[in-house]
Structure 1
Amino acid sequence: MFEFLRSYIIYLALLSGIVGVLSLPKLPGNKAKFLVLLIWFSIITEIVGYYFTQWTGLLNFYVYNFYMFASFSAYILLLRALLTKYKDRIAAVLFLILFIISYFLNSLYFKEDMNRSFTYSFAIGVLLVLILSCLYLIEIFNSEKILNFKKSVFFWYVLGILVFHVPFTPFMLAINWFLIKQDESIFSLVLFILNFLAHSCFIIGFLWSEKKYNY
């Protein structure tokens, strides 16, 4: 019933990507512009993932597993750049190493059958990003930034990441661990709703943020 919604996710990403490009004048540094790059990377991934099977005859798990590796690595590096406390930045580096190790262990575990999602690496990546995001939010709320946190594009981007990944993780694990039959209609509906919420956060961040808070 809702299977068609999955094909509309690309339009949500395109909308936030276009708004991001139009907002570039108030995204002064490379760190802020990196957010727009990440959105367009997701757009390219969706396009390649859609046509991958048609082009290669292989299932598109290869595309999305690579995207998961690249995106979570990028999220961790972004959060490291946003964190100001030395111990938190060191923790981010250690988390990145842990995630990379988990990804390659997951690859070895599934080396006989690569046509599946790297669920364990995804769950570990979400947990690590969640911890770093909490450290970032704690830093904001314990500093003068609390007065203007809504005017920072980084706050809204981190919120968008959490809004998508935190609810989606137990959904994925339930399918994987408890062998629940994946209903494509429900799966597409969940994906669309979470993408809608995430890209809404990105768009709000681009529109509401102010240049002086985006460094």
Structure 2
Amino acid sequence: MEISREFLIDFLNIGTFIQFVTALISTIYFKKYNNTILKYFSFILWYTFINEIVGILIVDYYSRFNAIIYNIYHVINFFFLFLIYREFINSNRLKKSIMFFILIYIMSFIINGFYENYLKEFQSIPYIIAASLMITTIILYFSELLNSEKVLNTNKNLLFWISVGLLIFFVGNIPFRIVRNYYTDLEGITILFLINIILTIIMNLCFIIGFIWSDSRQQY
């Protein structure tokens, strides 16, 4: 099923607006988590929104190549997300595993630069590797959470809601990335773009629930 370009653009604008709302709400409820590393998550959300706007403007008014700003964004975003979980996970063994994940991602990003142009091509393989490792990290976090007293208040835990949103997004986004980069001539590719936008909206709605519903006493 093919979806019109106009409909896809309108839906993309909705997704971008939801990102703006999420960043705004994260600022409104900043006091809930400003004494933890999660305080930087608000900055990442604003960076995400601004990056999307800049990416759109580059394509509309300057060049069809805007991959560089997304490649830089993914490095910063993944690095920060890994550090968040390293901070909140208690097991030293798991903390070391997360640092190993970061090393794998950085190495894959550097090596992939010899095969894909950072300026013109999205670094697809490093992204898929990082997303897969992030899914693993979230599962490790959930596993530790289930075996702790904090499981009794998961619905009040901001990182829990962030993790739910990220897990849903990355599980659905990895197949999209593979298809987008290697099967771009596939019929019905637009429906996959639509699904990806829906995943982005769902992820941000989870973030919003977390900011509103969480309790500052449950962030540790």
TM-score relative to the length of structure 1:
0.92
Q: Could you tell me which residue of structure 1 aligns to residue 27 of structure 2? A: 21
Letter in 2 for 1:149: T
The total of aligned residue pairs comes to: 214
Task: Work out whether 1:105 is the aligned partner of 2:105.
Answer: no
Task: Work out whether 1:190 is the aligned partner of 2:195.
Answer: yes
Q: Could you tell me which residue of structure 1 aligns to residue 127 of structure 2? A: 122
In 2 relative to 1, CA 58–24 (structure 1 residues): closer, same or farther, beyond 3 Å? same
Larger RCO, structures 1/2 (Cα 8 Å, 6+ apart) = 1
Q: 2-side partners of 1:149 and 1:138: how far apart?
A: 13
Q: 2-side partners of 1:55 and 1:177: how far apart?
A: 27
Q: Which runs of 5+ in 1 are unaligned?
A: none
Q: 8 Å contact 1:76–1:129 — kept in the other structure?
A: yes
- C-alpha deviation, 1:28, in angstroms: 3.6
Q: 8 Å contact 2:32–2:216 — kept in the other structure?
A: yes
Q: 2-side partners of 1:27 and 1:157: how far apart?
A: 13
Letter in 2 for 1:38: I
Q: Could you tell me which residue of structure 2 aligns to residue 57 of structure 1? A: 63
Q: Could you tell me which residue of structure 2 aligns to residue 161 of structure 1? A: 166
Q: Could you give the per-residue CA deviations for residues 155-199 of structure 1, whole angstroms, max 9, x where no partner exists?
A: 111111111111011122123334543756424412321111000
Q: Could you tell me which residue of structure 2 aligns to residue 78 of structure 1? A: 84
- C-alpha deviation, 1:55, in angstroms: 5.9
Q: Could you tell me which residue of structure 1 aligns to residue 72 of structure 2? A: 66
Q: 2-side partners of 1:68 and 1:119: how far apart?
A: 11
In 2 relative to 1, CA 54–94 (structure 1 residues): closer, same or farther, beyond 3 Å? same
Q: Could you tell me which residue of structure 2 aligns to residue 171 of structure 1? A: 176
Q: 1-side partners of 2:97 and 2:209: how far apart?
A: 29
Q: 8 Å contact 1:175–1:182 — kept in the other structure?
A: no
- C-alpha deviation, 1:58, in angstroms: 5.3
Q: 1-side partners of 2:49 and 2:180: how far apart?
A: 26
Q: 1-side partners of 2:96 and 2:187: how far apart?
A: 39
Q: 8 Å contact 1:157–1:202 — kept in the other structure?
A: yes
Letter in 2 for 1:95: F
Q: Could you tell me which residue of structure 2 aligns to residue 207 of structure 1? A: 212
Q: Could you tell me which residue of structure 2 aligns to residue 181 of structure 1? A: 186
Q: 1-side partners of 2:22 and 2:197: how far apart?
A: 14
Q: Which ranges of 4 or more aligned residues in structure 1 deviate by more than 4 Å?
A: none
Q: 2-side partners of 1:142 and 1:9: how far apart?
A: 35
Bigger shift: residues 182-191 or 67-76: 182-191
Instruction: For residue 38 of structure 2, give the secondary structure of its aligned residue in structure 1.
Output: helix
Bigger shift: residues 9-18 or 171-180: 171-180
Bigger shift: residues 141-150 or 179-188: 179-188
Q: Could you give the per-residue CA deviations for residues 49-71 of structure 1, whole angstroms, max 9, x where no partner exists?
A: 11124565351111111111111
Identity level (%)? 26
Q: 2-side partners of 1:213 and 1:60: how far apart?
A: 40
